[in-house]
Amino acid sequence: MWLSKVEEASGEAIKIDWQPFSLAQVNSDNADNEVKLWEQPEVIDGTDKTFLAHMSGLAAKRQGEEAFQGFFMALLRARHEDKKDLLDPAVMEEAAVAAGLDMARFREDATDPELLKDIADSHTIAVEEHGAFGVPTFVSDGGNATFLKMFIPPDEQAVEIYETMTKAMSEFAHVGEFKRPQPPWPHGVI
């Protein structure tokens, strides 16, 4: 949501290659992560909807970058503004319709079992190569990975924060952590 504000205010597109990362896997009770959620029978047969949003996003991506961006923004609004459940197939359908996707193709692609392999590969790379533990984790062209927790800023600060944080995340490899104590932050911010 923040990045769409930056694009709108700056008039420039931000090129991001969004990749799946499983918070369910990271936060599972399986501390040693030997059990891979994407390998579980109930996930494979579709009765467990843990990866529904990821699979839907990858299905949208198969229809092109513009289709994916439209779907992704619709999904973000559904989750963060409308507080909808991303485990609900109807929410995926609504986002796909809002994005103008070819619905027959979307429905077929969203059930492709190969998508679970894509999710597994993306998650594994994020953890093993970039040390990812949460979302969003940004990986710069130079390979620096940074987890960034923030709230949607006011319109007048969106671009400045983006430029500052992008510079810090990509260029200042010696900064290991920048964190505000909680509480009091985010008191008064949101």
Q: Is residue 49 part of a domain?
A: yes
Domain count, the chain: 1
Burial of 6 (0-12, 13-18, 19+ CB in 10 A): buried
What are the structure tokens assigned to 176, written together?
A: 């290991």
Quick: pLDDT tens for 116-159: 999 999 999 999 999 999 999 999 988 889 999 888 899 999 99
- Across the range 8-23, mean pLDDT stands at 93
Quick: pLDDT tens for 49-97: 999 999 999 999 999 999 999 999 999 999 999 999 999 999 999 999 9
Owning domain of residue 86? 2-129
Q: Is residue 160 part of a domain?
A: no
Q: Is residue 144 part of a domain?
A: no
Q: Is residue 188 part of a domain?
A: no
Q: How far apart (Å, rounded) are the C-alpha atoms in residues 35 and 33?
A: 5
Q: Is residue 11 part of a domain?
A: yes
Q: What is the CATH number of the domain that holds 81?
A: 1.10.472
Q: Is residue 172 part of a domain?
A: no
Residues 137-174 as b or e (16 or more Cβ within 10 Å = b):
bbbeeeebebeeeeeebeeeebbeebeebbeebbeeee
The structure's pTM equals 0.89
Q: Is residue 45 part of a domain?
A: yes
97, 61 contact by CB (below 8 A):
no
